Amino acid sequence: MKVTYNWLKELTGVNASPEEIAKKLTSAGMEVEEIVYQNEHLHDVVVGKILKIEKHPQADRLVVCQVDIGKEIVQIITAATNVFEGAIVPVSLPGADLVNGIKIQKAKMRGVESCGMFCSGEELGIDENYFAGAGVNGILILPSDMKIGQPIEDALMLNDVVFDVGITPNRADCMSVIGIAREVCALYGVKLKKLNLSYDIDVYAKDTVRDYINVKVETENCYRYMASAITDVKIEKSPLWMRARLNAIGIKPINTLVDITNYVLVEIGQPLHAFDQKLIGNNQIIVRQAQKGEVIDALNHNTYSLDENVMVIADDKKPMVIAGVIGGIDSCINPDTKTCVLEAAVFDLKSIRVTSRKLGVRTDSSARYEKGVNVANAEIGMARALHLVSLLKCGKVARGIIDIASRKNESRKIVGSIDKINEILGVEIPKQDMVRILNSLGIETALLGNKLNCIVPPFREDIENDNDLAEEIIRLYGYDVYDKINYKLFENSKITEGCHHPRLLLERKFRNALVEHGFYENISYTLVSPDLVQKLNLKDERVNLVKIANPISEDISCLRSSIAHSLLLNLNYNLSVGNKDLKLFECGKIFISQKVENSDLPLEKDMIGMVVLSNNFDFFNLKGIVENLLNKTSVNYRIERSKEPYLHPGISADIMVSDFKIGSFGKIHPVVAQNYDLPENVYYAELDSGYLANLPEKKYNVQNISKFPIVERDLAVVVDEQVKVGDMLDVIKSACGKLYYEASLFDIYRNENLGNNKKSLAFNIKLSDMNKTLTDEEVAQVIKKVLKAFTYKFGAVLR
Amino acid sequence: MIKEELIQLNEKFENEIKGAQDAKQLNEIKVKIFGKMGALTILSKSMRDVSAEERPTIGALINHVRNNLEEKISQKEDAFKQEELMKKLDNEKVDITEPSKGFEVGALHPISRVIDKLTDICVEMGFSVVEGPEVETDYYNFEAMNIPKNHPSRDMQDTFFITENTLLRSQTSAVQAREMEKRKPPFKIVCPGKTYRNESDSTHSPIFHQLEGLVVDEKISMADLKAMLTTLMKRLYGDDTTIRFRPSFFPFTEPSIEVDVSCPNCHGKGCSTCKGTGMLELLGAGIVNPKVLEMSGIDSKKYSGFAFGFGLDRVAMILNGITNIRNFYKNDVRFLKQMR
């Protein structure tokens, strides 16, 4: 919201500097985001009169002018062709620093001295709408009655300071100069100046407003509709002071009536609309919802198709205005307008918001309506507009104002509790200060014991309870009271037991373990391109992506259904920038679009994924890491050949708990590696950390250990390639029976000499007895038993 | 006579032992004393010629000399062993500046380190860490937070929608109502997690992280909020950290505040991190709007609460001197390596 310093000064009478006012507003929650000084580039520019023009002795295109700038006569050389003797012009003198970057110095032009420059409108930062002549291609010729020597910023009223104030959504009332002026008054403890709302009525005319217009309101989205008629309209340029205000806050001045509607919109926060009365069919205004198929040509030169959700101001045949949003071109004020109908209405904020969003039209008017204009505002806005009509003498106000209101907005009484307010704030604010602050904000407050009897004005619809009062009080009392207090942590509260989230705790174990294994943690966009389905060759429920309805772009339009996609992309990125020997992991969610019981939400699963591209790393290194992680939980799992479509079918495994897959690991399928532009030796693993975190904590059941030493034997056998090491280890365990302590594979050897499709496996077997030292004979017997079982079950031959 | 010989012998061999150059020489000396033909052996044999009354004295003297020389030899032997060991250790010396082997660690992501740190501090203060879904209903993300449909406060956040009623949560505040429905006061919760906004430029990422905190109890005040946030920020940025409140607006808190934290980089003096102001805008907070409590079934006459929320990406940036938010999500190992 832009307001000007002079405008605020006019409404408040506060003379403090712009900087001080800005600082105070900010400290009270009206953040002044920018201060712009209109005259920043207008110093050393004055009004001058060209006394004499002579040809430049050395140049055909230049002329030498003698210019009266008030206190002296200076010589200026110009190439401009629209200057003449007697012309009043803006003169920039040495030291001037114009808005287009030109800095003025004394200079010799072809041997003749020039002490400045004449300015065009553009060089002063203004256009034809603001000041006649400012748009011409040449020097701005000023009116002949301007005072010679006067600084141009004063002559053209470009001497205001503009504040851009950030208005929070709860303060719709501050979407106006008067709203911000109220805050300034509260901050300085002064009273708002009374707005002049008086106007002359054309008492001699026999016609009243009803002779010009009838109004019907047929929709409940219109809370109030006021209309007045202005006859003998004069459509011309507004006075400079009004243009200056509008120009300062970035609104283009157009003509008297349009400027008045804009002026009131900004000053009072009440949007107005002006119709040409003769263009309203059958003198009938109907406020209604549009019918499907109706169209309107709007003032922005676009045509909009309307439907039942859009409220319109129509005549007896067609929509004339999209209510609260934008006017139509067919009924608007034009140079031939003789009689004008002026509307001041209040609409439902949601209705305006929906229409504005749907049609993609945002105007100063819709911006106010969708934040909420209060019903009482319409009559102030109407009166202020009619006052300006009288002041500018741009028409005669017909007797009577039509006013159809379905809602009232009156002052409300609320009772505040001083104890509760102090309890909320946690600091003691003196009662008298509370009363003073609320009154200064226009909330009439009387102290009654420990209660505050408040009358809340209509424009503060946001004030309802003690919390609201507490906020008003503390923001004006000053939050710096909290800088001084030293309160103990939860001094008056009950002790609560702190507790980590079980999954985050498990993930923290995983993350720390992986970091020790040399992995780098990644956090990727969960938003991905839908092409992950094809790239990962997904076939199961993971093809059902959760899609964003309003994505920024296709490549981040879906939620990922696999962490593998993110990590393979990250791997590719790291390779592309020259990083090598990569181990990455990520903890995060995957999303699957499927119906979850009792919920509108898709399935979210917490996963941990890891990817490796490194020399000397194979499936069994990966298996070791996966086992290490699983070992931190109490999970009881088995592994099976994996069915993951993106893993190599022969070098991958699924981790199963009964029929439920809780993870998988293996080499990336060569086709998938290619899809991600990666070499073939990429390994990937993932675990369902959500599932694992829900398991009971791991318990340890410690067995008694034997007093007697362990005996070790190595056993090497040759078997067919198809024989599984896991099965052989199981056989060792059962063959050793009670004496089994541990067994492991310590070597695999393949050689032509062993025969085709053969491998030699070397096992280390550890035996132990609780009650005695084992004799060589007992050990030999057990090993013999193992070998026998090997031969019988796997056709193994001793090496 | 024999007595003098013994004394001479003792002295002579003490000197010899002292002068021995190595273990071999020492061994030769040992033989010269105690061997079959050794000097002391021979002298011992001459005990036979000593008179009976002199015998005990001489005998004691011989024993004394034997013990003395044996001890001297033993001492010398130990010295030689020690010397040899020193030589061996010296030979085994390595260049300790050679790089380490076989143990290259990775690193945690800066954002998850911040989450770990903050949740640890909060748990110590009695908070429970909770989570909510990233795809959220319009109800929990907005309506239960006092942001009705088509309300102007919806403009504060550009939201990604999935359907008309489901969306990617735009704030971790979405967990507040979920937890209030589940729990009975008093309780304290924090929720870290990903949040989503439909905006993307050099300083905004469409995905970022927030931490939301909520305390509900009897008589919770702005002063409690001040004390709690001061503790949290001191633990995060150091003991000399101070905080400051400024008025603000959030639909779900009333009063609402922005919290500025003294710049941990310059300690309030003003630097490039804090753009010369000495303070950093870090959190939004306030007293929970009684409407929000009521909507979730908590009696706002009896209970009050405070809530706070902040962007973890920014915290991680300030804590680690990171200047570009985009680096968090590129996962370039050259970036991550610096967090080892």
Q: What mean pLDDT, rounded, does chain A reach?
A: 94
Residues A466 and A223: their CA atoms lie apart, in Å, by: 28
> Does B103 have pLDDT greater than 80?
no
For the stretch A444-500, pLDDT in tens is: 999 999 999 999 999 998 999 999 999 999 999 999 999 888 888 888 888 999 999
Say yes or no for a CB contact (<8 Å) between B196 and A556: no
For the stretch B15-27, pLDDT in tens is: 999 999 988 999 9
Distances (CA, A) of A494 to A385, A491, B121, B125, B218: 59, 9, 18, 12, 9
ipTM of this predicted structure: 0.87
Asked whether the beta carbons of A68 and A148 are under 8 A apart, the reply is yes
**Architecture, CATH, for domain A43-155:** Beta Barrel (2.40)
Q: What is the secondary structure of B126-185 as a DSSP string?
A: TPEE----SEEEHHHHTGGGT--TT-GGGGGS---BSSSSEEE-S-TTHHHHHHHHH--S
For the stretch B124-146, pLDDT in tens is: 999 999 999 999 999 999 999 99
Give residues with Cβ within 8 angstroms of A516, minimum separation 6: B105, B106
- Backbone torsions φ then ψ of A760, nearest 5 degrees: -105, 130
**What is the predicted pLDDT for the residue at B48?**
80
**Sequence ranges of chain A with CATH classification 2.40.50.140:** 43-155
- Best of A480, A508, A521 to mutate (most B CBs within 10 Å, chain B): A521
> Does B155 have pLDDT greater than 80?
no
Mark residue A290 as left, alpha or beta (left: phi above 0; alpha: psi -120 to 50; beta: remaining). beta
B52 — pLDDT class (breaks 50, 70, 90): confident
Lowest mean pLDDT among A464-478, B220-234, B313-327: B313-327
Instruction: Show the DSSP H helices in chain B as ranges.
Output: 2-19, 23-34, 39-45, 55-91, 110-124, 138-141, 174-182, 222-237, 290-295, 312-320, 327-330, 333-336
Q: How far is B87 from chain A (nearest CA, A)?
A: 38
What secondary structure letter does DSSP report for B257? Answer: E
For the stretch B288-312, pLDDT in tens is: 999 999 999 999 999 999 999 999 9
**What is the predicted pLDDT for the residue at B157?**
79
Contact map slice: B 253-272 vs A, CB within 8 A:
254-257
Say yes or no for a CB contact (<8 Å) between B223 and A371: no
Range A517-537 average pLDDT: 96
Distance of CA A140 to the CA centre of its chain: 43
**What is the predicted pLDDT for the residue at B132?**
94
Range A651-675 average pLDDT: 96
Q: What is the secondary structure of A685-702 as a DSSP string?
A: EEEEHHHHHTSPPP---P
**What is the predicted pLDDT for the residue at A484?**
86
Place domain A711-798 in its CATH homologous superfamily.
Answer: Ferrodoxin-fold anticodon-binding domain (3.30.70.380)
Return the residue of A nearest to B251 by Cα. Answer: A170
Residue ranges of E strands in A566-723: 582-592, 603-613, 638-641, 647-657, 660-668, 682-688, 711-720
- Residue range A2-39+161-188 forms a domain whose CATH class is alpha beta
Q: A600 or A296, which is more confident?
A: A296
CATH 3.50.40.10 fits A209-405, yes or no: yes
Strands A311-314, A161-166: pairing kind? unpaired
**What is the predicted pLDDT for the residue at B55?**
84
Maximum average pLDDT range among A235-249, B4-18, B152-166: A235-249
Structure tokens at A639: 């592994």
**What is the predicted pLDDT for the residue at A519?**
97
Residues A321 and A317: their CA atoms lie apart, in Å, by: 12
For the stretch A91-129, pLDDT in tens is: 999 999 999 888 999 988 888 999 999 999 999 999 999
Structure tokens at B238: 């150091």
Q: How far is A523 from chain B (nearest CA, A)?
A: 6
What secondary structure letter does DSSP report for A488? Answer: P
- To the question of pTM greater than 0.90 for the whole model, the response is no
Instruction: Show the DSSP H helices in A164-239 as ranges.
Output: 177-188
Q: A703 or A414, which is more confident?
A: A414
> Does B123 have pLDDT greater than 90?
yes
For residue A191, with 0-12 CB atoms within 10 Å meaning exposed, 13-18 middle and 19 or more buried, which class applies? exposed
The CATH T-level fold of domain A412-477 is Phenylalanyl-tRNA Synthetase; Chain B, domain 1 (3.30.56)
Residues A175 and A169: their CA atoms lie apart, in Å, by: 10
Q: Which amino acid would we find at residue A321?
A: V
| Number of other residues whose CB lies within 10 A of the CB of residue A423 | 20
Lowest mean pLDDT among A34-43, A433-442, A750-759, B82-91: A750-759
A269 — pLDDT class (breaks 50, 70, 90): very high
**Sequence ranges of chain A with CATH classification 3.50.40.10:** 209-405
For the stretch A626-650, pLDDT in tens is: 999 999 999 999 999 999 999 999 9
Of A483, A550, A591, the CB nearest to B160: A550
The structural domains of chain B, with segments of one domain joined by +, span 2-91, 110-339
Give residues with Cβ within 8 angstroms of A208, minimum separation 6: A398, A399, A400
For residue B169, with 0-12 CB atoms within 10 Å meaning exposed, 13-18 middle and 19 or more buried, which class applies? buried
Q: Which amino acid would we find at residue B233?
A: M
**Architecture, CATH, for domain B110-339:** 2-Layer Sandwich (3.30)
Contact map slice: B 130-169 vs A, CB within 8 A:
130-131, 133-137, 149-153, 155-156, 160-163, 165-166, 168
Lowest mean pLDDT among A141-150, A172-181, B244-253, B268-277: B268-277
Place domain A502-693 in its CATH homologous superfamily.
Answer: Bira Bifunctional Protein; Domain 2 (3.30.930.10)
